[in-house]
Amino acid sequence: MKNFTCFLFLMFGIGNATLNAQQNVVLEALEGCVVDIPANATCLCSTISFTKCSSVLGATLNDDPSTSSGIEYDWSNATSSTLGVGFGATTNTRALVEIGGQCWARYNMDVVNSNLGAYVANTDTGWSGYYNNAASEPAANEGRLYQWSAAMNGSTTERAQGVCPSGWHVPSDCELMYLENTLGMSVAEQQIAAPRTTGTVGLKLAEVGYTMGGSPSTNSSGFSYILSGQRANNGTYNGRGSSSSIKTSTNITGAIVTRFLQTGSTGVERGVGGAFNSGGQQVRCIKD
């Protein structure tokens, strides 16, 4: 529409000042349309964060040579469970990992959201808690399970800070697609809502020790994802030790987007559905 407006101004000889202003609007719009994942139409013009972990205040390089696709850093704030400060992790050691230029939390979030509500089946009340109603983490860095409004800490804006530390945010669908692209998933598969197996990305994301789709997980990315289970929207818990879900900040007309890893597949499933509002999944933060 803006391009068409410019053509009308040219046809009818409107003054140069006005024409230049119109052209600048068009140029600004075009310049803001960044192609971060070539051929991925879903993420055209989307904002995707690229920040070196070395720029994070309190981060110290502590790279693990076994994770060829990632660079790990210790982070002094990682163990803080104060909302807006840290991850609530059990250790500061290698708490950050840089993959493809993105700086990710290496541990699941274990921080209580400010809008915490009592659990109600099939309803997003801002609930968060531990697997099987445990009083504390079942194992180190499994983190809490969050309904969508809990993960977002009441916000509905994509890439909101949510329960993440200041300067971090709940990742968008496209930020996870960029991660998947970096690790070898085909562009065609990135965009579909289904199990996606090109590039065996699930093996590269999952902590060493799982057998996924008949192959051993490698954690070559350093993402160190734990298959710590989830809570279905009806309230039942399932999957601990065999599957796990990651929440995103992307809401497609009421359908929340997630990622799902399981021992039955070498890949990563992209889930899109309204049930993920009230279901409980883990949160991994990404640096702004």
Query: What is the chain written as a DSSP string?
Result: -HHHHHHHHHHHT--HHHHHHHHHHHHHHHHT---SSTT-GGGTT-------GGGSTTEEE---TT-TTEEEEEETTTT--STTT----S--TT-EEEETTEEEESS------TT----BTTB--S-EE-GGG-SS-SSTT---EE-HHHHTTT--STT--TTSPTTEEPPPHHHHHHHHHHTT--HHHHTSSSEE-GGGHHHHHBPTT-EETTEE---TTS--B--EEEE-TTS-EEEETTEEEEEEEEEETTEEEEEEEETT-SSEEEEEETHHHHSBBB---EE-
Residue 241 CA to residue 232 CA, distance in Å, equals 16
pLDDT higher than threshold 50 for residue 29: no
- CA-closest candidate to residue 167, choices 47, 55, 281, 70: 55
Q: What are 185-195's pLDDT values in tens digits? A: 999 999 999 99
Q: What are 125-161's pLDDT values in tens digits? A: 999 999 999 999 999 999 999 999 999 999 999 999 9
Q: Grade residue 277 by pLDDT with cuts at 50, 70 and 90.
A: very high
Token duo for residue 26: 């068009």
State the sign of the Cα–Cα–Cα–Cα dihedral 240, 197, 108, 78: positive
Which residues share a beta bridge with 231? 237, 280
pLDDT higher than threshold 50 for residue 21: no
pLDDT higher than threshold 50 for residue 23: no
Residue 88 CA to residue 77 CA, distance in Å, equals 9
Percentage with pLDDT > 70 across the chain: 89
pLDDT higher than threshold 60 for residue 1: no
Q: What are phi and psi of 216, to 5 degrees?
A: -75, 140
pLDDT higher than threshold 50 for residue 19: no
Q: Grade residue 254 by pLDDT with cuts at 50, 70 and 90.
A: very high
Residue 181 CA to residue 186 CA, distance in Å, equals 7
Q: What are 82-100's pLDDT values in tens digits? A: 999 999 999 999 999 999 9
pLDDT at residue 32 in the model: 54
Mean of per-residue pLDDT scores for the chain: 90
Q: What is the mean pLDDT of residues 214-231?
A: 98
Residue 288 CA to residue 285 CA, distance in Å, equals 9
Q: What are 48-70's pLDDT values in tens digits? A: 999 999 999 999 999 999 999 99
Higher-scoring residue by pLDDT: 14, 215: 215
pLDDT higher than threshold 50 for residue 9: no
pLDDT higher than threshold 70 for residue 3: no
Percentage with pLDDT > 90 across the chain: 88
pTM of the entire structure? 0.89
